[in-house]
Structure 1
Amino acid sequence: MVATDRTSCVNYLQQNGLPKFIDRMIRDLVQSQSDSPVDFMADWMDKMRPINIHNITVEVVSAQGFVRPLNCRVMLQLGNVTKATSTLKGTDAQFGETFALGVSSINSAMLTVTVQSKEKGSAWEFYGSGTISIKALPIVCTAVAVDVPLTDDNEPVGAVSLVIDNCVQPRWITDTGVKVSVLRGANLPAEDDTGFSDPYVELHLADQMRVTSVKVQTLNPTWNEDFVFMPNPLQDLTLHLFAWDQDPGEDPDFLGTASLDITQAPVEQELVVPLSRKSKGVEG
């Protein structure tokens, strides 16, 4: 189906259950006021192509179509990562072996598939190879079955069947995770009789939690503490902040909370995040 107007395009995307991070495309589409949603989507997809890729797994299902039985193995190369299957013999070798190929920041990476053959007592020899573009695969977490034709001097010599799980991350998540720096707090409420608090901040992203250190007797704490989260890009990517006053031996006093959609946050910029109760802000 090709949507012919903005409303039908949005409805089609929502009804077909795309992963959560594609919601960003829908929001961009609605905000664009474009008269040609199809052109907008094409432009949007091009912009999203410089994407960090993580946890690419490749299952070598089989190698087939050989003109004679071979003692063969399949070599996979993506970037500087190389993997090899076990050795099997036949004209139709069933491998069923899975490999992890983690490569980041790929614009036009090619997966090279090579079959090598070996006679008893001899060295491995080239039999045939083929390539497949990672960029051409769907940019969602899904398993894709592909047959890679093998050639030797442009002559067909068989094929290798693969299942590629091309799990990708949006650009706002790097291959080393989401880094959040809690810099300082300003004008936090006083919960102690001294007129100060002992504040700390809890950070929640997806199913992960990080906690700052406690700053003693201050309403304007300085943390300068860095935290790294490794969320699944299909999870809810809302960062939740909770500021507390520590009371040794007792439950902490609540100072305030805030939420931030990291998919909409600028990268590597300082933000002031207002707390919803009493405080004028926690900066980070």
Structure 2
Amino acid sequence: MATFHIIIVSLFATGMASNYCDYQLERLQTAKRNLHHNCTLKTTTVKTCCDVNDLYSCNAPSGIYQLKCWCGERWNRANVYCDTTSGDGGWIVIQRRKDGSVNFDRSIDDYEKGFGNLDGEFWYGLRAIHCLTYTGEWRSWELRIDFEFQNRTKSYMHYSYFQLGPPGTYYVYLGKLLGITPTDPIRTGGHNYRSFTTYDRDNDRYSGCCATRYGRLRGNGGWWYNKCWHINPNLKFGPSQFGFLYLAGRWYNPRWIEMKIRPRNCQPLTLI
């Protein structure tokens, strides 16, 4: 009789445990459904990538969003890739290299319009970057350059101010370096205040043209050259005889690199 009682108690306890597990599983599933519901996107239109986190009730993912901005004396809409995680997020990615799938040895016309794929390698376009940082609503922007070395370690350069000048020169102006790199290749290479150069628009201080220094189609790409570069993320990508990042007396060819901009004191802004 005692044995039978023990069996009954054990079965009851097992049933209670099973019910408890079912209850906990249901709670987890409900929480998961609620999380998915709370993370749904309210709108796909932003005025800067600073707005993206405000569109979700949880952390917003990096990805492609539609930008609505006042530029060129009218409202414009265009897709942008927003980085929501690096340095507290809010970044509009304007350049990315990661696999060499896109040719960056292009004309000034291509660099003005932009090229590539926002999900992969691309250059966003000088006209759009100028419009955002020079004639748009927000005149005070900052720049961040993230990169990953061949050994998978990561670093970045963060500049306190960024502005791109008008067509014809598209000169670049950068503020103080805030990043963690040991030296500033922009300033040591004389790139600050320089105009943009391509193989068909020579604005550099080299006796020839930095974009064709090693021969046309060798992949120098367009850049704010001086005589010629200490940094140029638009070089032909991958291991080569040309390094595109000079830090502390050594040349590097990072395996991944992104350039991105955002308004200083990045804050969500109300859409009009």
Q: Report the TM-score, using the length of structure 1 for normalisation.
A: 0.20
Higher strand content, 1 or 2? 1
Q: More relative contact order in 1 or in 2 (CA 8 Å, sep 6+)?
A: 2
Which TM-score applies when normalising by structure 2? 0.21
Decide which structure has greater helix share.
2
